[in-house]
Structure 1
Amino acid sequence: MNYYECMQESINYIENKIYEEIDLNEAADRAFMSLSNYYRLFFAIVGCNVKEYIRLRRIHLAAQELLSNDCSILDTAVKYGFTSADSFSRAFKKATGLLPSIFRKQDRQYMFERVDIMEKYFEIQDLELSEKYPDIKVLKETAPFYGAAFRAESKTPENDAFIGLKAWFDKNEIGNIMPDYRVYGYDIPNSAKDDGTYGYEVVVTIPDDFQVRGEGVVKKHFEGGLYAVTETTVGEIVKAWQRFISWLDISRYEMGAHQCLEEHEVESGFLNRNFEEPENIRINLYMPVVKRNQTEYGKVIVDPVRVAYYREYGSDSEQTAHNVWKVMLNWAEKNKLDCSKCKIYMYNHGFAKVKDFWFEIMITLDFAFQDNLIKEKIFKGGKYLTYDTSLSQLVSSWMKVNQYVSANKIASGNHQWVEVWKLNNWRFPEKGIMIMYPLV
């Protein structure tokens, strides 16, 4: 069960015991969580702490009884776990604004309904799909959030990233600033190298107005959207993603362009992470999805064209990309090229493991030139499937395009894939990016 389903099991336990003494340790056990993690996630998911939820649910039920029969206030107080009529009256007035006696006379209404997390957070699924993939649920539109992120690139980037973020987390007492924090991680795309190094980033949620300071930690904004979610462990992540892809092929969804996320259980996965044997750490996987037919794909044929190009290799992916852009944009400005009349094509090493990262940028042109660094060639072009995106969603958009091609059994061409980058007068930030996937 994912965290939401586990929390619903806990709420079911509370509701069944609403007239009795409720053991919060048992409630946490029903959610398969430690008590401290249970308190934190209950607040994050339900919107109030668990003791407040129990108190308000009892006030709700007591209010119904006060209006429906002539039971005494003391009997009502005892029935719902209050030690005296006075303590009940104080709690009742705090919740409803009125003392029980006045509330009854004025025939008011007070509602605090039982929370149904599955109805609140999840979309209704196709019955056949639910029976075949009972472990995969689709969350309703989730809200954007801010996070403090720490990135590591090494042979053990998960460990390094968690260690780095945890040190910052402790120093800044984030647990006190945001008690309902959550912890996510994800692989850095295009970061795998032949020497076994790759990138991983860990994020802890923070308040929107929190100022992030600290070496190696940056503030990031994550877009909301639809997510398919399932529970797994660190050691079973690959199998879980494979199951997601199979689910996509027969669902009414396709891959979304927002960030893939791995939510780590806080106690075992963050605060007290076992770096020697992390395989059994419990995580929830969030795969971005959109409903089918909501994405607009296009097709275009690109004729052969002369281009100026520059390619560079390097051990640092981001720095190499930065260098290539700097060289080509400076060259374009030096030669007074008209940005509105040229096209900028970019491609790189892609998702394959490489010895050195590399990037190449091509700019279309119609004049001859000589340069010691910039070369020219014919870009052969071809037939392409197109999809418009942005830099923040570029990687997930490529995943989405690949899934679309696979699900629709589209034959791939052998010519070069590219991205068309749209700039304003050779300046960033970019106005947009078009993915161009080669077709037969």
Structure 2
Amino acid sequence: MDWLVRMNNVLDYIEEKLDKEIDYKEIARVACCSEFHFSRIFSSITGISLSEYIRRRRLTLAAFELQKSDRRIIDIAMKYGYESADSFARAFQKTHGIKPSECRLKGKSLKAFPKLSFQLSIKGDTEMEYRIEKLEFEIRLIGKSKPVKTSRAFKTIPTLWSTAKKEGLMQQLINMSWENPKCSLEGILGVCGKEAAIKDEEFNYFMGVRYHDEAPEEMETLIIPPSTWAVFPNIVEAWKRLYSEWVPTSGYELADLPCIECYYPPGHKPRHELWVPIIPK
């Protein structure tokens, strides 16, 4: 399928560039999606961030080269993107458990991280409920944002909401929301990234509401342009299956906009939904 071909083309591109500079914008171009969305796709499917995968592959090749050649450690370090022998030694020891100089001793154990390959697992035993929403107006949100590491997002985001509840932010958002609904995107919103083209290791998670009056001084404003959305009930389940099951077979591409987690007021069914920006292929 086109989606699988593009994802594996990205892995081929990375493999060819492990001893050179890797252009993250080129990765996104090969994948035919934004840097932000590719980062989410990659970490969701593999369980690690893109940068961590690249780091592991580089250190795997560096270990092979240390064992098979007499090249200086600093030369190998620079070949795989490290500016000094010290930074290379720290990364190498963190991954392999030994110093680069010890790598050449017989009997030393190392860790090899092989090149990944994307494959489509055909399940079909559990349907994915969704609907398409086309919002032909600008969405104005106010709230607060916090940086989140992509690799720890599923652990960090619940903690952010817990803190927001303790500090009163959640109640403040509740008090400002659920008034004069203009569309079904109403409630407490968690926006995954204020912009699409951000670093793969981290994104800003925005906690806010749709609001049209003047924003309080301590809050930020986020504007999302008119767009089309695929909407899924049950946020946790939707995140798990979105990239590996729905996107490859849907006939849609992810748009260059952030995804939105929507938490509805008491008594609403479903309790929460994931809004995913899309465009037709």
Interval of TM-score (by shorter of Structure 1 and Structure 2):
0.5 to 0.7
From the superposition, tell whether residues 221 and 37 of structure 1 become closer, same or farther in structure 2 (CA, over 3 Å): closer
CA distance in 1 between counterparts of 2:85 and 2:7 reads: 32
How much does 1:144 deviate?
7.8
Which residue of the partner structure matches residue 419 of structure 1?
A: none
What are the Cα deviations for residues 96-155 of structure 1, in whole angstroms up to 9, with x where unaligned? 1222122332432311101111xxx23xxxxxxxxxxxxxxxx3448989x9x887xxxx
SS of equivalent to 1:112:
coil
Q: Which has the higher helix share?
A: 2
Kept in 2: contact 1:56–1:95 (CA 8 A): yes
Q: Is the CA contact 2:44–2:240 (under 8 Å) kept in the aligned structure 1?
A: no
Distance 1:220 1:53 in 2: 20
1:116 is matched with which residue? 117
Query: Residues 204 and 63 (structure 1 numbering): CA distance in 2 closer, same or farther, change over 3 Å?
Result: farther
Contact 1:78 1:84 (C-alpha < 8 Å) held by counterparts: yes
The DSSP-based 3-state class of the residue aligned with 1:77 is helix
**For the structure 1 residues 144 and 61, does the alpha-carbon distance in structure 2 shift closer, same or farther, using more than 3 Å as the test?**
farther
One-letter amino acid matched to 2:64 = Q
Q: Which residue of 1 aligns with 2:280?
A: 282
Quick one: structure 1 residues 4 and 206, their matched pair in 2 at CA, closer, same or farther if it must change by over 3 Å?
farther
Give 1:230 shift.
3.7
Deviations 1:181-237 (A, max 9, x none): xxxxxxxxxxxxxxxxxxx982166347xxxxxxxxxx9998xx999954634xxxx
Change (3 A) 1:141 1:109: farther
TM-score by length of 1: 0.35
* Paired position in structure 1 for 2:163: none
Please point out which of 251, 259, 280 is paired with 1:232: 251
Aligned to 1:78: 78
Distance 1:93 1:159, change over 3 A: same
Q: Which runs of 5+ in 1 are unaligned?
A: 123-138, 152-156, 180-199, 209-218, 234-263, 272-279, 284-440
Letter in 2 for 1:232: G
Q: Is the 8 A contact 2:10 2:27 kept in 1?
A: yes
- What letter is aligned with 2:85? A
Matched residues in 2 for 1:165 and 1:23: separation?
A: 39
Residue equivalent to 1:249: none
Shift of 1:31: 0.6
Task: Give the superposition deviation at 1:270.
Answer: 5.7
How far residue 173 of structure 1 moved from its aligned partner, in angstroms, is 4.5
Correspondence for 2:254 among 265, 268, 282: 265
1:18 matched to 2:21: no
Deviation at residue 45 of structure 1 after TM alignment: 2.5
What percentage of aligned pairs have identical amino acids? 30
CA contact (8 A) 1:140 1:227 kept: no
Structure 2 residue matching 1:267: 3-state secondary structure: coil
Aligned to 2:134, the other structure's residue is in SS state: helix
Question: Structure with the greater relative contact order (CA < 8 A, sep ≥ 6): 1 or 2?
Answer: 2
Rounded to whole Å, the distance in 2 between the matches of 1:44 and 1:84 is 32
**Structure 1 residues 428-439: aligned runs within 5 Å:** none
The answer to whether the 8 A contact 1:42-1:49 is kept is yes
Find the aligned partners of 1:59 and 1:65 in 2 and give their Cα distance: 10
| Equivalent residue, structure 2, for 1:159 | 134
* CA drift at 1:90: 0.8
Q: Does the 8 Å CA contact 2:255/2:279 hold for their aligned counterparts?
A: no
Tell me, what secondary structure is at the counterpart of 2:26? helix
What's the secondary structure of 1:14's corresponding residue? helix
Rounded Cα–Cα distance in structure 1 between residues aligned with 2:45 and 2:239: 22
- What CA distance in whole angstroms lies between the structure 2 residues aligned with 1:226 and 1:24? 24
The 8 Å contact of residues 74 and 85 in structure 1, kept in 2 or not, is answered as: yes
Q: Is contact 2:254-2:279 (8 Å) kept?
A: yes
TM-score, with structure 2 as normaliser: 0.52
Tell me the CA shift for residue 86 of structure 1. Answer: 0.5
Counterpart position of 1:35:
35
Q: CA 1:221 to 1:73, structure 2 compared with 1: closer, same or farther past 3 Å?
A: closer
Q: 1:167 and 1:61, CA in 2 relative to 1: closer, same or farther beyond 3 A?
A: farther
Aligned residues: 185
**Cα distance, 1:8–1:15 mapped onto 2, change above 3 Å:** same
Deviations 1:16-70 (A, max 9, x none): 1111111111111111111111211121223221111111100000111122223
Could you tell me which residue of structure 2 aligns to residue 420 of structure 1?
A: none
Would the aligned equivalents of 2:191 and 2:259 in 1 still touch at CA under 8 Å?
no
Asked if 2 retains the 8 angstrom alpha-carbon contact of 1:268 and 1:281, the reply is: no
- For structure 2, the residue ranges without an aligned partner over 5 or more in a row are 140-181, 195-201, 204-228, 261-277
- What SS class does the counterpart of residue 159 from structure 1 fall into? strand
In structure 2, distance between residues paired with 1:25 and 1:143: 36
Task: State the distance in 1 between where 2:9 and 2:20 align.
Answer: 17
Alignment partner of 1:62 is 2:62: yes
Rounded to whole Å, the distance in 2 between the matches of 1:96 and 1:50 is 19
Match of 1:281, SS state, is: strand
Counterparts of 1:49 and 1:94, CA distance in 2: 17
State the SS of the aligned residue for 2:256.
helix
